[in-house]
């Protein structure tokens, strides 16, 4: 779907969402978008970066934004903003449709103060700023979930809690990768000479860079904490397994003692107390004495304290 809205007397904002083949052809023919740049803009797997086509006077910004898809927790998706001659084109899909709402809000706010001096780059940087800040809430939400899972793990480490912790760690990997890509492209954009920016716009871009870098630091810190928590829980599980194996080892040894004792008395050979009236009680007593000796030997060697 393609829609248009006037930014100022010179520039027009064009929203492109899930374009069909017919609409792609229209973008090439009517808006002078090259097929190569269009391919970059609509590619759902494109990494965050800037791309320039000086011959066609096209400047493309690809930014990794949070995905609005509830079925893909913690995922991000590329959003493309293209400056093509007098047009500002935003390329979104279903999971990033909210970006157009953010762009429209900043555009409408700017139009309230001036209907002639609205600069497209100013609106773009305000939009990128808000998209960068959105990572803060997502990371803080992960931290809150991690704290809740930690509380449950204090009492009992279950398969569900481990699975939930792994899911949070996966989400942070997506966020951290996207934030690093965004930081690289924003820094590159701040140095580029392919697009003219005013001093105020440079300051806006630097603000976006600061927020994006802060988001990366938050994501890295959250990732480190989850890794430490996961390692601590892994050590606890290993310790529990070790204790279980100790118990089974002792239990096996203890169970072997009666078999040895009763085995001797069950043979067709002469053994002490074999014909005694108290023979059964004596074998039981011998068994308990041997078990006690085994336990004392294990305790003497600090088997239960290791």
pLDDT in tens, 7-40: 888 888 999 999 899 999 999 988 889 999 999 9
- Both structure tokens of 72: 């893909």
Residue ranges of domains in the chain, CATH in brackets: 1-105 (3.30.460.20), 242-300 (no CATH)
pLDDT of residue 254: 78
pLDDT the model gives residue 88: 93
Helix (H) or strand (E) holding 190: helix 159-191
Indicate whether 150 pLDDT > 70: yes
Q: What percent of the chain has pLDDT over 70?
A: 90
| Residue 131 pLDDT exceeds 80 | yes
Question: Which of 182-186, 228-232, 249-253, 265-269 shows the lowest per-residue confidence on average (mean pLDDT)?
Answer: 265-269
pTM above 0.75, yes or no: yes
The pLDDT of 169-182, averaged and rounded, is 92
Q: What is the mean pLDDT of residues 70-79?
A: 74
Phi, psi for residue 127 in degrees, rounded to 5: -65, -45
Instruction: Please state, in angstroms and rounded to a whole number, the distance separating the CA atoms of residues 81 and 55.
Output: 18
Which tokens belong to 112?
A: 């309230």
Per-residue pLDDT reduced to its tens digit, 249-287: 777 877 787 777 777 666 665 666 666 667 667 777 878
pLDDT digits (tens, 9 = 90+) for 79-117: 999 999 889 999 999 889 999 999 999 998 888 777 667
Question: Does residue 71 surpass a pLDDT of 70?
Answer: no
Report CA 230 to chain centroid distance, whole Å.
Answer: 14
Q: Which of 70, 2, 7, 72 is nearest to 41 (CA)?
A: 2
Q: What is the pLDDT of residues 289-303, one digit of tens each?
A: 888 887 787 777 776
Asked if pLDDT for residue 212 goes beyond 90, the answer is: yes
Express the helix, strand and coil content of the chain in percent, nearest 5 each.
65, 15, 25
DSSP H or E run through 127: helix 120-155
How crowded is residue 161: how many other Cβ atoms within 10 Å of its Cβ?
17
């Amino acid at each position: 779907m393609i829609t248009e809205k006037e930014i100022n007397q010179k520039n027009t904002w064009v929203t492109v969402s899930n374009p069909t083949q017919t609409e792609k052809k229209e973008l090439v023919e009517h808006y002078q978008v090259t097929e190569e740049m269009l391919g970059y803009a609509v590619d759902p797997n494109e990494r965050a970066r800037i791309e320039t086509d000086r011959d066609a006077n096209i400047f493309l910004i690809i930014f990794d934004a949070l995905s609005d898809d509830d079925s893909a927790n913690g995922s991000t998706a590329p959003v493309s903003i293209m400056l093509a001659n007098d047009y500002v084109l935003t390329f979104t899909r279903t999971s990033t449709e909210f970006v157009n709402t953010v762009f429209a809000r900043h555009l409408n706010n700017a139009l309230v103060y001036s209907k002639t001096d609205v600069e497209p780059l100013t609106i773009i940087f305000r939009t990128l700023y808000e998209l960068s800040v959105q990572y803060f809430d997502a990371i803080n939400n992960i931290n809150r979930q991690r704290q809740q899972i930690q509380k449950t793990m204090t009492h009992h480490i279950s398969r569900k809690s481990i699975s939930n912790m792994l899911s949070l760690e996966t989400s942070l990997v997506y966020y951290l990768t996207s934030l690093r890509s965004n930081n690289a492209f924003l820094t590159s954009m701040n140095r580029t000479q392919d697009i003219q920016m005013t001093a105020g716009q440079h300051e806006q871009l630097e603000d976006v860079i600061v927020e994006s870098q802060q988001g990366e630091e938050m994501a890295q810190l959250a990732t480190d904490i989850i890794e430490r928590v996961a390692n601590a829980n892994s050590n606890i599980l290993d310790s529990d397994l070790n204790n279980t194996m100790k118990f089974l080892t002792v239990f096996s040894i203890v169970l072997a003692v009666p078999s040895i004792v009763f085995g001797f008395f069950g043979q067709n050979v002469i053994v002490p107390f074999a014909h005694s009236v108290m023979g059964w009680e004596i074998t039981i007593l011998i068994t308990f004495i041997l078990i006690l000796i085994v336990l004392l030997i294990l305790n003497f060697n600090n088997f239960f304290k290791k």
